[in-house]
Structure 1
Amino acid sequence: MPDVPLSEVAALARRNDPDRFFCALFAPPERRETLFVLIAFNAELARARQVASNPMTALIRLQWWRDALGEVQAGNPVRRHEVSTPLAEAIRQGHLDAAELHAMVDAREAEVEEDVPSRGALLAYLRGSAGGFAVAAGRLLGAPAESLGALQTLGAAYGMAGVLRSLPSQAMHGRCLLPADLLAERNLTPADVARDPRQPGVAEVGRQLAEEGLALARDGKAKLGRLPKGAIAAALPGWLAARDLKRMLAKGWDPAQPPHPRGLGDRLAVMWAGWRG
């Protein structure tokens, strides 16, 4: 079969979030494009802090998305943007819920703060950001209401793996999302880690969080039950999370090194879970 060219928003999703893009390929064709829109929207929220030169600029970027969502809810014309335009259409068609998207924007404000003060604050951020994405994806794909909590937990596990995988990138930008209270137990501050993630104690904190993330992944899987075939794509990032977190718990993991590149084993794990349903 000839390759089908990707839409603009699908290409954005693949470029900015290849993990979730790959998982989205297991969604029903009639819902796949909207899932790409959700992935692209989430990537825009993640970029708000990544590309900002200072916290105020990041907050302005997040407010831009709040305003865009508010325009949709009010029935007003939506500002033209490669993501906001299809996002507005998905909301108006009832495929995505504006309130859930607002909550995803709010959760990203934790990235703008000077540091993440505690383990509890980190978990709240993960449940609202990556967990919020998983809930929105599950609802879009027709997951039963009773499965949404488990999907949020799986999403939080994927978010935890993402925080730990991105430690070198965070340091390059002078940032650290590790909880300040856990670092303080090792006489470290987030600023110390941002300067040099190779310092003694950073890997220990990382492994502690990896254990917690792996527990989230296992708990989410245990409580998920059997999703309808069409909704399994919402849960698949949790399988990648479990593989990543196990790597971080293996001997020799170095939080200052770039993350393990995606390989055939990762893709096969997602494919197997997707085909099994």
Structure 2
Amino acid sequence: MSLEACAGLVERGDPDRHAAAMAAPPAARARLLPLYAFNLEVARAPWVTREPMIAEMRLQFWRDVIEEAAQGRVRAHEVAAPLAKVIREAALPVPLLDAMVEARRRDIWAEPFEDEAAFAAHIEATAAGLMWASALALGAPGDAEGAVRGIGWAAGLAAWLQAVPELEARGRQPLPDGRPEAVARLAQQGLARLAEGRRGRLPAAARPALLPAWQAGALLRLAAAEPGRVASGTLHLSEFSRRWRLLRSAFTGRV
């Protein structure tokens, strides 16, 4: 039930987000890592079992953890306890975190997205919701929500596009329209939201919450120019480019 346990979970299950957290100041990490570990737990809950009822129970566990934390109760769990501490100290809104869990229920089933609006809403509730919760945990003002969510949505879209081949291999239809022209259009939408979010302003202490978007712009530009990379599983940056972009973002506070 420690920050080290959260860091270990994120390092193994979400290495890019772990790298972003490690680039943040230690004080920020103490709040970011429990949120990232929580996100990992709910994201993988639908995938660790073939039994829908068990997956539903796993997600309900986390809904209960959030609600109880807001009431001052803490479960003895390696992620739940540090998460509860962040929720209490930062007064994180329960509906925001609950929406992140609720959105994962659709991952239990192999049904495709109804349309582009449903797909966009899923990224909004998950990736954008996590980035906003992270920013709130670091003291972001309420009027920064639109900008932070825009950056989070773009980062979530970039990560989703990278995961398309794996999701398809698991029998899912991850995109509402997988044609190259539709993928390119979706990437352009992500770039537009990223540009809009970059025009916002955050206090310096809250900027580490944006670090998980350090690759988003470059990946989305690549997907827009060469959408075939999404289906082929070659939507990625060189290791040098990844490291340089993360260092630049950590140093400047901009993504």
TM class by shorter chain equals 0.7 to 0.9
Runs of 4+ aligned residues of structure 1 deviating over 6 Å after TM superposition are: none
Query: Which structure dedicates a bigger proportion of its chain to helix?
Result: 2
**Residue of structure 2 equivalent to 1:70:** 67
- CA 276–74 in structure 1, closer or farther in 2 if over 3 Å, else same: closer
- Provide, for residues 53-82 of structure 1, a one-character-per-residue CA deviation record: whole Å limited to 9, x for no partner: 15443322211111222222344452x322
Q: Give the aligned residue type for 2:65.
A: A
Which stretch shifts more, 17-26 or 48-57?
Answer: 48-57
**Residue of structure 2 equivalent to 1:207:** 184
How far has the Cα of 1:169 moved from its partner?
0.7
Q: Give the aligned residue type for 2:121.
A: A
Secondary structure in 2 aligned to 1:136?
helix
- Provide, for residues 100-142 of structure 1, a one-character-per-residue CA deviation record: whole Å limited to 9, x for no partner: 2112112222333412111111111111110010111111112
| Structure 1: runs of 5 or more not aligned | 1-5, 184-200
Secondary structure in 1 aligned to 2:33?
helix
How far has the Cα of 1:46 moved from its partner?
1.0
Secondary structure in 1 aligned to 2:232?
coil
Q: How do residues 99-248 of structure 1 correspond to structure 2 at under 5 angstroms? A: 99-113=95-109, 114-179=111-176, 183=177, 202-222=179-199, 224-225=200-201, 227-248=202-223
| Structure 2: runs of 5 or more not aligned | none
Which stretch shifts more, 234-243 or 33-42?
Answer: 234-243
How far has the Cα of 1:260 moved from its partner?
2.1
Work out whether residues 150 and 196 of structure 2, in 8 Å CA contact, stay in contact via their aligned partners in 1.
Answer: yes
**Residue of structure 2 equivalent to 1:268:** 244
The share of aligned pairs that are identical, in percent, is: 37
- CA 262–11 in structure 1, closer or farther in 2 if over 3 Å, else same: farther
How far has the Cα of 1:254 moved from its partner?
4.7
Q: Could you tell me how far apart the structure 1 residues matched to 2:213 and 2:119 are?
A: 18
How far has the Cα of 1:39 moved from its partner?
0.5
Task: With the length of structure 2 as denominator, give the TM-score of the two structures.
Answer: 0.88
- Provide, for residues 193-248 of structure 1, a one-character-per-residue CA deviation record: whole Å limited to 9, x for no partner: xxxxxxxx6333322211211222112112x13x2222211122333111111121
Work out whether residues 151 and 197 of structure 2, in 8 Å CA contact, stay in contact via their aligned partners in 1.
Answer: yes
Work out whether residues 243 and 266 of structure 1, in 8 Å CA contact, stay in contact via their aligned partners in 2.
Answer: no
Q: Could you tell me how far apart the structure 2 residues matched to 1:18 and 1:139 are?
A: 22
Q: Give the aligned residue type for 2:179.
A: V
Q: Could you tell me how far apart the structure 2 residues matched to 1:88 and 1:55 are?
A: 27
Q: Radius of gyration: which is bigger?
A: 1
